[in-house]
Amino acid sequence: MGTPMATRLLEAGHDVTVWNRTAARTGPLVDSGARAADSPAEAVAGADTVFTMLANPAALDQVLSGELVATLRPGQVLVDMSTVGPAEIRSLARRLPGEVTLVDSPVRGSVPEATEGRLIIYTGATAAAYEKVRPLLTVLGTPHHVGGPGAGAATKVVVNLTLGVAMTALGEALALGDTLELDRSTLLDILAESPLGATVRAKRANLESGTYPPSFKLSLALKDLHLVTATAAQQLPIAAATLGWLERATHESATDPDFSAVVETIRAARLR
């Protein structure tokens, strides 16, 4: 995700310095005009705006170590676009030096949307901070100012709950169709016109081929549902059931496929 996002910033004429935990991944960006830093601290030195895009809270904590945080200076803006949940954003805010502005802007979308600048961006920030970063976010997709600091991270948790629930609901619908001996292709046609239509249309090729090249990895979907259950102040039975299916699919998979592979786990469970 970070590579196509940084590429769009370069193409828009911005000076971009990049750092990745896997150094070789910065090569294509350097070829496109970016400067590669040898450390996170070097990457943020002198930057007006710093973007972080990492897989989970542990990775964010690792990168935003004491050295990097100490390098940030008053007036800089740190835009975290990771999906890490509101608790991690609150923790990060407490660790930042004074007068460094934190903006939480997690995104909906995967590599194709990032490449084409079609990400949906949920931004938590003050009005002033949002207006400051909005021109940069618009290069990456469509930003939505959803509230004050932390609201972006919270909104993404809610959105990803619906993504997980929709996918497992599709799995159970197809399992029910198997039980009722309905033709699978015809059923997918019908479900494409149902409230699950967007999910069917996005993942139909995976379901019909039985292959699940990762666009949104199963491990990331599982992480996101753990964030949901950790964040919720009340019991969410549907979220708990979705989490259970994702855990089962992860346990049964030898790789890290697209999260739509959970559909096969649900359909196979009916045969046991």
Catalytic residues: 156
- Nearest Cα neighbor of 189 from 167, 173, 204, 176 is 204
Place of tokens 């710093």: 50
Residue 178 and residue 270 in contact, taking contact as beta carbons nearer than 8 Å = yes
- Length reported for the chain: 272
Measured CA to CA in angstroms, residue 133 lies from 71, 74, 113, 128, 144 at distances of 20, 16, 20, 9, 12
> Three-class SS of residue 170?
helix
- The Cα 13–Cα 31 span in angstroms is 15
Say if CB 218 and CB 250 are below 8 A apart. Answer: yes
Q: What span, in angstroms and rounded, lies between the C-alpha atoms of 145 and 122?
A: 6
The rounded distance, in Å, linking the Cα atoms of 257 and 214 is 5
Kindly report the number of other CB atoms within 10 A of residue 133's CB atom.
21
- Pairing mode of beta strands 119-124, 107-108: antiparallel
Question: 10 Å Cβ neighbour count for 230?
Answer: 11
Determine contact, residues 227/84, Cβ cutoff 8 Å.
yes
- The closest alpha carbon to 113, from 213, 35, 5, belongs to 5
